[in-house]
Each structure stands twice: as structure tokens, then as C-alpha cells.
Structure 1
Amino acid sequence: MGIEFNVFKGSKSGEIIEGKGYRDPKSTEVIVKISHCGVCGSDEHFRHTEQGLGHEGIGIISEVGSSVHDLSEFRVGDRVGMAYFHKFCGYCKHCITGHQNKCRNSTCFGSADQDQGCFGTAVAWDISALFKIPDGISSEDAGPLMCGGATVWSPLYDQGLLPGDRIGVIGIGGLGHLAIQFASKMGMEVVVFSSTESKKQEALDFGASEFHATSGVESLGDIEKVDALLITTNVNPDLSLFLPVLAAGAKVFPLTISTEVLPFTPLALIGGFISVIGSGLAPTASVQAMLSFAAKNGVKPKIEKFPMTKAGVTEAMQKLRDGKMRYRGVLVVPN
């Protein structure tokens, strides 16, 4: 049967363009009618590309491919979420050992299916990269969890950190405010670093145990050392400020997509037995665990809503670009 859809795309000029498309589901795909989509910094990276934008989509399955019932529990009417990855191969070493986010045969946002995007009314999506949304999470809150939530969840859940560990979080933005919530609800002690005192109360409300302003500071003083450090800011911080507060064997996770060089010396890493770990989106089972945990523990993003229209997409992306979003934008398909 298939479906016609509207989709909002980037362009060479950076202007948001509204287009149309049509998809029939392949054998392992479903058609999802989109209701909501989060607005992520990665969408900005493709604003000057003629492709469909959006990869934090939430919607309802309206049609399934010929093999879907044989290979999965997905059914018409299910509420599902999608993220950066579009499809995993299922047979490579990484897939069969539960590390699908490392699949070298995967397809993903920006490199495949560029005729469609979750900034639109419908998509065709492979079931290997599809997730049921628990009843305890609203659709408007679920979108930002699919990418932003999974990005901060994976270091906390997949990298051997434990309840009671001290977790440093640099920045209280779209990623940071979710990292604070997840870590605190997981029983970790969250130490927040922000440039000014302006977000101190919000950080504490999200679950932070400590707050430290860093602007103009030459030393963080006698702070109890942290076991892990999540960098969630748009620009890389001066790590020389933070290295002295890392515990021996601490793990550092740069989570913001950046091409800037992280300034540290091998001696700093060797002397403190420090690991710097690249961490993208979580594996499939980890994303499922994240959604379940968020539903049971009330973890949700602080959002601003915009209509899924050309004007709404343009406004949301401009606000994100200006650094004024508090803290995740969500596009809503008009009824």
C-alpha cells in the first residue's frame, strides 16, 4: 500500500525546504506516521544538505513489511521511536555480540534514505533500528531520549560505572540536563560544572549533588575527585582545569560532535591512568533499557514545542543555533 509523506529538508543555502515523497515498506520495514520529533544538534550539521532532516522521531506504525511479523513483535498500532541509525546488518561481529552501534554495515542519518526524515509526516524504517516506547513516556518527551538520551545513557550504563561513583558533568544543556537525571536516578553522585551560577538551581533540581562555576577560575580547588567526566558542552572545555579533579583510572567521555582538538598530553593520561573514550549512541539492548529506566524513574527532557511546519522547523533550528533552547526542541505534527 505504501504512504505519501511531507518532509522538511535542508538546502545548499541553509533554508528549510518542504518536499514530498512516497515509500512502500521493504520486507523488514514498517511505515511509521510521525507525531513528534526532537531537534538535535546533528540536524544542524546537515542543514546545508539537500536531504530530509530529523532523527528523533516518534510515531505509530501504520503498515508492516512482509517479514516483520516473522522477525519481530512489531504490529500496526504500536508507538515506536527512531534515532540516528536506520538499519543494522544483524550478522557482523558487532551485531551478533550486542554492539550494534559499532556495526560497519549500518545505515544512518546523513548517509542513507535522504529522501525522508523524521522532520515530516511519515517514514519507512527497518525493524532492526526501531524501538517500542513504554506507556510511561509521553510522545513529546520520548523524541529527545532517542538520540540525546541514548548518548548520555551509554557511558553511564555500558562502561562499568556503578552506583556511588562520582560523575562529573560539564554543561547543563540538551545533553547535560539528561545526564544529570540519569546519573542521579542510577544512584551516582553528580558533580556539575557550568560556566556561571545561572543554572545552579536547575542543576540541583535535576538531581545534581554539587555545582561548581568555572568561568574565570584557575583552579577548582579541593574538590573530591570524580570517577568519570561527561563533556556535554558545544565547545570543548580547557581540560587542564579538570584533570586535577579526576580520580586515578577516571574515564572521560567527549559526547558533543566536534572537530576541535581536545588539549591534553599523554603524560596527563599516563600519570592518572585516565581513559578518554569515544561514545556514540547506545547499542540496541541498552536503548531499550534506557527507555524502560526513564519510564520507571521519571527521567524526561525539559522541552520547547514547535509545530511541524516550515516556519516551526526554521524557528526551532534557529533557536538551537543561537544557544537559546531550553533544553530540547520538539516538533509536533499538527492534527
Structure 2
Amino acid sequence: MNSSRRFAVAPMMDWTDTHCRYLHRLLSRRALLFTEMVTSAALVHGDPGQLLAYGDTEHPVALQLGGSDPRELAEAVRVAEPFDYDEINLNVGCPSDRVKAGRFGACLMAEPELVAECVRAMRDATDRPVTVKCRIGIDDQDPETGLDRFVDTVLPAGMDHLYVHARKAWLQGLSPKENRTRPPLDYDRVHRLKARLGAFPVSINGGIETLEACEDHLAVLDGVMLGRAAYHDPMLLARIDRRLYGDDRDGPTLDQVRDAMIVYAEGQMASGEIRVNRITRHMLGLANGLPGARKFRQILSVEACRPGAGPEVIAEAFAVLDTQMALAG
């Protein structure tokens, strides 16, 4: 199994863009990072350079695709080949109305034969690993028999790894926001799936918030995937390499993160194409639980949006932390 999949940061729309991934890679050298979902239609008919560009430092990084047309997905994979992603992932878990209207995401849990066709077409278009991210079921499906049927149908098509969000998606009656907390998580269902599949690699996702919980799941499964917990408390990632991969080096300190992000912001803004708040919006959780965290977030979210704001707002925000921690100490 690819050891990078031992820990992954989940693909999240509007969150895990290249600036977010740069920060996360600073914090962990080993975690697998994901793009936001890119639809196969957008990739085939749009600007691949704009949709797929990323920094060389982001590896290992996976591209997540959304779609349900096998031929179009295969073409999207071929378009993505020159960008050298470490794996290609098919989204079979997103419950949003926009995704459902496009006949992809979680609604495909009801069409395992089509998903198998999609995976087979993607595999035929690349030598890179092709993986799937799904739910334990949707709507009135029985998650015991439904998930088994889905996996048994898709696995022979050649998927290399399965990421399972341990919660049903309710496409009828619940909003995407409500789907984050309802219905209840069922980690045991994913554990049973892994026990049945034997050596085939399975990762778990959904509501995991601590490294202790990660370790508990890794005693049974091949990998864990964190989403909002990793985004809202990114310094958690600074402990991943030592704790979950056995590396002998600690992750960076806050001061090292500050210095690196200032240099990164300077480089990104030199082209004049982005504003600093595009970068700082991903940094709000760095001070989670520290004295001065509220002021830190205010500077990075409000001051960074002001005309002419630049990397100095990052230094200003961290100076608040230094002052508050000195007073607290």
C-alpha cells in the first residue's frame, strides 16, 4: 500500500486550493493532500492550466474528479496526465445539490455498475493509481448490503484504494450542511468492510478530530482522512509525521510557519494576480486555543482584505500571538 495514504487531508470545495495545500505541506512532509473536486466537464472543456496548476512542493497530492460519463472522465484523466498528480480520485460521496444535478457525487452510490465503468475507463487512460471516495450508503439504502454490493461491483474495475466517509448521505430531505452531522457516523461499518476485504486498502473519513482517534482507526484500517479538523486546527498536522509515520523530526514551529508563509505570500503577490487574503484565509486556525487567537483571526480575515494589504498582515497577526503569550507566561 502507498504509505502516504496512512494519513490524508480530505478534498473540500472552496477550501483545499493550492494555497491551503502549501500551508498543509509545510506542516507535514508525509500527509497525502487532495485538490478540490474538479468536474470532468470543466477539465475537458475549460482551461487545464488554471484548474490543475499546483506547486512542486505539494507532492504527494491527489486530483479528485467529479463526473459520471466514463468517456469524459477518461479524457479528463488524459488531460491531467502532464500535471503529474500522484493519484486520481473519483468523487462518489459529495451530497450537494449541484453535484447531484450533474449526476455525480454521492448519488452514484445507487449506480455501482456505472461507477465501475468510470473507474475502468480512468484506469485505461493512466498508469497512476485510480481511487474512489464514497459514503457507506445513501437515503434508504441498507448500509450493510448496499456498501458491500457497491464495493464488490467497483473493485474488479481496478480501483487501487477506497476512502469511505462513515456516514450515509441523505440526498432527499437534508441539506449538504445537515449531511455533515446527520445521520450518525458508523465507524464499525467501515471496520467490518475492511475485515471482509482483507488485504485491499481502505481508509476512513468523517468526524475524526484527534491523533488518538487516528491511531485507533489505524489499528484496523490502512488509512485515515481528516477534513474540517485538519483545516480548522492545522497545527495538528505538525504532529502527524512523527506520531503516525514514525519520523524522527518534529514539525515546524509557529515561528517557522510564519516566516515561510510571509515568503510564500511575497512570491505569490509578486505577479500581481492574487490578494493576500486568498492565502491568509487558510491560516485562521493556526492560533487555535492560543491567547490572542481572536485578534489573530481578525487581522488575517479583515485587515488582509483591505486594499493594498500585503504579507505584513501575517507578521502583524503573529506579533499579537507573541505579545499575548508573553503576557500569559
Task: Compute the TM-score of the two structures, normalised by the length of structure 1.
Answer: 0.28
Tell me: higher relative CO, structure 1 or 2? Use CA pairs within 8 A at least 6 residues apart.
1
More helix by share: 2
User: Could you tell me the TM-score, scaled by structure 2's length?
Assistant: 0.28
